[in-house]
Amino acid sequence: MKELEEKISNSKNLKEIEEVRIEIFGKKGVLATQFAKMKDIPNEEKKDFAKNLNILKANLQKLFELKKEELYLKHLEQTLKEKAVDVSSFKYQGESGALHPVNFTMDRIIDYFVSMNFEVAEGPLVEDDFHNFQALNLPEYHPAREMQDTFYLDNGLVLRTHTSPVQIRYMKKNRPPFKMISPGAVFRKDMDLTHTPMFHQVEALVVAKEAEVSFANLKSILVDFLRYMFGDVNVRFRPSFFPFTEPSAEVDISCIFCKGEGCRVCSHTGWLEVLGSGMVDPNVFKAVEYEGMSGYAFGIGVERFAMLIHRIGDLRSLFEGDIRLLEQFR
């Protein structure tokens, strides 16, 4: 029966060994044929014949199992090699995104004030006349209302024209001393190179007992903040007017494009106006029953900062969603 053993050992793959299996162990295979011969064998020889046949069968089976296992492992190894995925060659083919310049600038502004322990508060985009105007010392028919090109809704409410109304909501809900900022969208009927009907502001308000907050505090935090945002700039305060602050100041930085020499961007003045600020007007404190308190406030135009930081010429382009523009900020 050497011949059968060789057939098993010489099988080269799973297909061949399967054919050998059928040939040897199948229903009509060599072993079945041998066992069938039993009935023709004289009785006294039957026992030995059967015994030998069973030994043969067991040996062949053992040999078969070992060979099959060996061929299976070989097959597995080969398949794994052929179908292997080279993980190190994987390359992401898509485009990566980037923060919109307005979000980028907004995040940077918020990061600064959070690091200075300011709380972040938000308010509604649709405001009533009291919060957007009256409580901020802008009574009806006050000429200063003209400064803000308001969107009026049919129900008498307005789209907030600034984030200052959140000051009022925050003061009604909390007790001083506190430091807060309020970032968010605001709306005005305005559209040109540097204005869009929707834009973003960050309002800041610091309130404590009288004599605990001063104009000097306001000045020092703004100088620090503006240098954080724009690098090594000079900062100047110009007397100005806002209904909700007294005294009020507009804040300029030395032009970041010409370093104060004078250029087209700064209209040859050497200065760029960046925000409005002041000490909270006593009339505002009166509206929220905060008599005896002192505080300062300022309002930052986020798009104005983004335009300066990223040197964007036309603000409207930021809101058109043109992917070619946004790709430049990756």
Give the interface with ligand DAH as residue ranges (CB under 6 A).
Answer: 162, 164, 203, 242, 245, 276-278, 297-299
Name which of 226 and 297 has its Cβ closer to ligand DAH: 297
Cα 166 off chain centre by = 26
Name which of 266 and 280 has its Cβ closer to ligand DAH: 280
Q: Edge-to-edge strands of the sheet including 178-187?
A: 119-120, 178-187, 198-209, 293-301, 271-280, 245-254, 235-242
CB of 248 to ligand DAH, least distance (A): 6
- Cβ atoms of 236 and 317 closer than 8 Å: no
How many whole angstroms separate alpha carbon 289 and alpha carbon 198?
A: 32
Cα 260 off chain centre by = 36
CB of 282 to ligand DAH, least distance (A): 14
CB of 96 to ligand DAH, least distance (A): 35
Closest to 181 measured CA to CA, from 125, 229, 117 = 117
Name which of 11 and 167 has its Cβ closer to ligand DAH: 167
Name which of 180 and 297 has its Cβ closer to ligand DAH: 297
Name which of 248 and 254 has its Cβ closer to ligand DAH: 248
Name which of 184 and 276 has its Cβ closer to ligand DAH: 276
Tell me the two tokens of residue 262: 């004078």
Closest to 305 measured CA to CA, from 292, 315, 317, 295 = 315
Which amino acid appears at position 2 of this protein? K
Name which of 101 and 243 has its Cβ closer to ligand DAH: 243
Which amino acid appears at position 6 of this protein? E
CB of 239 to ligand DAH, least distance (A): 13
CA distances from 248 to 47, 133, 140 (A): 119, 17, 21
CB of 280 to ligand DAH, least distance (A): 8
Name which of 11 and 277 has its Cβ closer to ligand DAH: 277
CB of 186 to ligand DAH, least distance (A): 7
Name which of 150 and 277 has its Cβ closer to ligand DAH: 277
CB of 162 to ligand DAH, least distance (A): 3
